[in-house]
Structure 1
Amino acid sequence: MPRTSGEATMNAVLPHAFTDALARHGDRVAVTDPDASLSYAELADRARAAAARLAPYGVAGDRLRIGLYATNSTDYVVGYLAALFAGAVPFLADSAFGPFELSRIAEDCGLDLLIHAPDADVEQVTAEVLTAGGEFGALTVSRVRRSATPPPPLLPGTEVCRFTSGSTGRPNCIEFSGTAVLAAARNWAEGTGLSAQDRIACLAALSNGLAFNTSLLAAFLPGASLHLSRGLPTASRIVRLLESTGATRLVAFPALYESIVRRSSTGGFTGVRAAISSGAPLRDSVREEFTRLTGVPVHNYYGVAEAGPLTYAADGDGTGLGTALPGVELIADEQGVRVRSESMGSRYLNAPGVFEERIDAEGRYLTGDQGHLVDGVLHLTGRTGRLVNVGGRKIDPIEVTEVLREAAGVLDAVAFEAESRHGEPILAAVVAVGPGPTAQSLRSHCSAVLPSFKVPSVLHLVDRIPVNSIGKPSVERLRRLLADAQSN
């Protein structure tokens, strides 16, 4: 018989893991942001008090489902722990999701409450404010509007849900057991030598796997400190964060390392022993120049949302993405990169059967990446799928194309991967239009439906889409069109 919600809560893994870590490390600094600093003991007290505020809103016969929709802060960490301590399941939504995607998440996943910034655009989703400030600091807790559709049941072992880009404007919700989340943290700490002396400057959103797996529970297990930035993570903000915290580790996406290199920013790196990069390929020239400027090696890390952290390049020499972390089995052959890990997700809550279709007969997850192993080191060579990787976020260009085609005055459209003038991957679109549409009006149309990171960085308007000999859009000619337009 399946466990009841009460049994699932009683047997939860993560509340016990966090309780133990918070108690063991007491007065050590646990987490900071530009406005606040909490010791492990203070974080425990605040999270417990916040959990008590959530408890009365529990749902009979089911666990409370709480969406977290905010940028990084100490308050975010308090909200996350409070949800776990209250026996609820936190759903970590990317703060870049717009109202359209947030409403789909609330409906598809049956959210009960939403923890969010007070100025967040959540009117389509929330019914009333339950608490503002207090134990949740600058964040607000609101009740989510009830959907007429019953929520899909959670698996008994699910303790955290995170999201990856879907193909229909509905982000896929990945269910993770507490055992998987704890394994990801333990294996990352062991595999990368994370210790109590480390101070982690984290520039990636905690809702993203790069930060969630490397900088949350993974930091707290050995008693390290986690330092969060706020606002757009520019090169100058990074330097200020490093200088103010004495960080020993930097966790960021490739675009930030490229920004540091472009600005020749060298301050603040004296104590940094390792810079960790993931989410998208980091060009060798950028890695080499970053290390030349700062003296800090860049350690590549490979992971996928559904399977957690998978490899780590301990030597930081840039030759590949490193070897498998503890608890990871990795295969790279003509079928692509396939993995089996202790940190694997269980399924997509809101897309039955889709996750399972990507598991082979031996229980390995098909990542969609192509690559090969050399002496155990993973080297990626391409994608087996169609997703575009922009700044660590996977975007389905077909989804964006369909949204553009729905705009008034659009005759046809094609979204595809291109390169910025700095050589970074971006999402571009060429749109055939009649009278009326402008690039700005099309951006506004996309922004009303898609999160900001899915709005094409470059929009080029034409009379017709160039096609190849069999009548399909010619991506090569589309890229030439963009190049010609940008050179004029």
Structure 2
Amino acid sequence: MRAVLPDLFTDVLTRHGERLAVSDAAGSLGYAELLQRARAAADTLARHEVPGERSRVALYATNSVDYVVSYLATLFAGGVPFLVDSAFSPFDLSRIAEDCGLDLLVHAPGADVHAIADEAHAAGGEFGALAVSRVRSFDTPRPHLLDATEVCRFTSGSTGRPNCIEFSGAAVSAAAANWAKGTGLSADDRIACFAALSNGLAFNTSLLAAFLPGASLHLSSGLPTATRVVRLLESTEATRLVAFPALYESIVRRAPKEGFAAVRTAISSGAPLRETVREEFTRLTGVPIHNYYGVAEAGPLTYAADGAGSGLGAPLPGVHLLATEQGIRVRSESMGSRYLNAPGVFEERVDAEGYYHTGDQGHLRDGTLHLTGRTSRLVNVGGRKIDPIEIADVLRTAPGVLDAVAFEADNQHGDPTLAAVVAVETGVSAQSLRTHCAATLPSFKVPGILRLVDRIPANSIGKPSIERLRRLLSDPQSTGDPQSN
């Protein structure tokens, strides 16, 4: 089967020639330069390909021009890019490498990849500041990729392990094209992206979608503070801002008086955005925030075109959405194919009509989607889905822990965060538990709020009482540090 994305990117990069394609703090590349660098990097990757198979190349790095080059190079070399969240821990990275049968790893030279990488084959050159390492072999059988798969991305699945979603080139292309069409993205747009390209918010709105009409993509890595946002917006004269709700809340708290003169559209997704924050952001900056609803497995689904009023907007082109008592079901042209490392799990969530069960509850009113909750136990923190049972299981393995319960709560700013109440023996500290979690979990799964108690409060049938657990978070008599690190 002939791949879709290499030809599509070649056409787009050639067609837009001398226009600015992508930039970061270290520099920028025009469309023609990006194509040239990506092809040169592809030649390097091709020398390390697996005979008779497509190389599986994991990208484990923060946003940069070099990241985009590496992504394109993998496609041009006939490989399959696996976009791994850079916040994943070395433990998660090791599980992914074994589960998915990775061949190569593109990473920052300082990244902790010793558990899976045997040797570095390239650093610098066409890959800029990134290194390329060979992934060591595992004893477990390597799962077979579908013939149509051209990109793989990850989501925290209901099992707690990162599930690897296979996407066909046609699905990736449709996600970008339908987003560009549905949101009016044009060659005049300059996109300031503060979400990781491994995440659906950025991947679907700011990578291929930006390049299709000839727009420019401007990337920032590191902690996305309000000051950094304003600086990037001013230096690039960005017309679009792509970020998670927490960043908009940070901007509102800082109350900037400048920096948004060129911005016409701000896009938010990944977690609920409080109405008060949306209104205050627009009052301060004059820029409307457009809610966007997407699901990792199904791509971008809705967009609030007017940027006013509540709700997540109407379905994008190529999207069919149903709101039933069983929850929100979607069918899209950008749908993933399956989980590579969790056979049958994806398929169980797709009904006979091809609709994917999202796990969200909500309704359609005047064609606009409104979410009301979740049908599953997953916690949504900053756009990342976390299984609280996984977190509690990890906490229970810490020395001196008797029992643990994890759940969603609000931090001191009123934002959703992961909380845990832990029954411990004398001498156990909150910091020791965070250190224990950080050894095996990515940073976003380490509880931001911890309460240490003698025993877990239970209800009349012996199950943990969530109501009483939540009260413990504000009880000054309980031990532990209730604030986020």
| TM-score, with structure 1 as normaliser | 0.97
Q: How does 1:210-221 map to 2 (within 5 A)?
A: 210-221=201-212
Greater CA drift, 265-274 or 174-183: 265-274
Q: Tell me whether 1:327 sits opposite 2:330 in the alignment.
A: no
Partner amino acid for 2:349?
Answer: R
Task: State the match for 1:84 in structure 2.
Answer: 75
Q: Could you tell me which amino acid in structure 2 is paired with residue 410 of structure 1? A: V
Please say if 1:16 is aligned against 2:16: no
**1:483 Cα shift?**
1.4
Q: Is the 8 A contact 2:411 2:449 kept in 1?
A: no
Cα offset for 1:166? 2.6
Query: How many Å apart are 1:170 and its aligned residue?
Result: 2.3
Alignment of 1:58-77 (within 5 A): 58-77=49-68
Q: Which residue of 1 aligns with 2:254?
A: 263
Shift of 1:487: 9.2
**CA distance in 2: counterparts of 1:402 and 1:155, whole angstroms:** 33
- Matched residue of 1:484: which SS? coil
Q: Which amino acid aligns with 1:170?
A: R
Instruction: Decide whether the 8 Å contact of 1:68 with 1:90 is kept in 2.
Output: yes
Shift of 1:150: 2.1
Task: Note the C-alpha offset of 1:236.
Answer: 0.2
Supply the AA of the counterpart residue of 1:403.
V
CA shift for structure 1 position 421: 1.6
Match of 2:265 in 1: 274
Q: How many residues align?
A: 479
Q: 1:169 to 1:123 in 2, by over 3 A?
A: farther
1:345 CA displacement: 0.1
1:336-355 mapped onto 2 (5 Å cutoff) = 336-355=327-346
Please name the residue that 2:46 is paired with. Answer: 55
| Counterpart residue identity of residue 337, structure 1 | I
1-structure distance, mates of 2:403, 2:208: 47
User: Please, which of 387, 391, 402 is the counterpart of residue 396 of structure 1?
Assistant: 387
Offset from partner CA, 1:119-174 (integer Å, 9 cap, x none): 00100010000001000000000000101112100000000000000344520000
For residue 409 of structure 1, what is the aligned residue in structure 2? Answer: 400
> 2:257, 2:74 → 1: CA distance?
39
| Amino acid paired to 2:185 | L
Counterparts of 1:62 and 1:447, CA distance in 2: 35
The whole-number CA distance in structure 2 between the counterparts of 1:407 and 1:45 is 51
What is the identity percentage for the equivalent residue pairs of Structure 1 and Structure 2? 77
8 A Cα contact 1:94 1:208, kept in partner = yes
Q: 1:298·1:318 contact (CA, 8 Å) conserved in 2?
A: no
Match of 2:128 in 1: 137
Query: What is aligned with 1:231?
Result: 222
- On the 8 A contact 1:280/1:389 being kept in 2, the answer is yes
Paired with 1:45 and 1:487, the residues of 2 have a C-alpha distance of: 51
Give CA-to-partner distance per residue, 1:431-475, whole Å, 9 cap, x none.
000133211111011001100000000111000000111111011
Q: Match for 1:185 among 169, 176, 186?
A: 176
Q: State the one-letter code of the partner of 2:149.
A: T
Q: Residue 130 of structure 1 contacts residue 141 of structure 1 at CA under 8 Å; is this kept in 2? A: yes
Question: Which of 137, 140, 158 is equivalent to 2:149?
Answer: 158
* CA–CA separation in structure 2 for the residues paired with 1:460 and 1:78: 45
Quote the Cα distance in structure 2 between the aligned partners of 1:252 and 1:97: 19
Cα deviation code 1:292-348 (max 9, x no counterpart) = 000000000000000000000000003200000000000011110000000000000
Give the TM-score, by structure 2 length. 0.98
1:283-322 equivalences under 5 Å are 283-322=274-313
Give the equivalent residue in structure 1 for 2:25. 34
Q: 2:367 matched to 1:379? A: no
CA RMSD of aligned residues (A): 1.1
Q: How does 1:241-252 map to 2 (within 5 A)?
A: 241-252=232-243
Inter-CA distance 321–448: structure 2 relative to 1 (3 Å threshold): same
Is 1:174–2:150 an aligned residue pair?
no
> What is the aligned partner in structure 2 of residue 428 from structure 1?
419
Cα distance in 2 between the residues matched to 1:119 and 1:425? 31
Query: Could you tell me how far apart the structure 1 residues matched to 2:243 and 2:215 are?
Result: 18
Is 1:105–2:96 an aligned residue pair? yes
The answer to whether the 8 Å contact 2:292/2:312 transfers is: yes
Tell me by how many angstroms 1:57 deviates: 1.0
Alignment partner, residue 449 of structure 2: 458
Inter-partner Cα distance in structure 1 for 2:263 and 2:452? 46
Deviates more, 1:259-268 or 1:21-30: 259-268
Deviating above 6 A after TM superposition, structure 1's stretches of 4 or more consecutive aligned residues are: none
Match of residue 351, structure 2, among 345, 360, 368: 360
Partner of 1:159, secondary structure, is strand
Asked if the contact 2:449/2:482 (under 8 Å) is kept, the reply is no
**CA distance, structure 2, for counterparts of residue 457 and residue 58 of structure 1:** 42
Instruction: Quote the Cα distance in structure 2 between the aligned partners of 1:70 and 1:167.
Output: 25
* CA shift in 2, pair 1:487/1:116, >3 Å: closer
Paired with 2:361 and 2:293, the residues of 1 have a C-alpha distance of 13
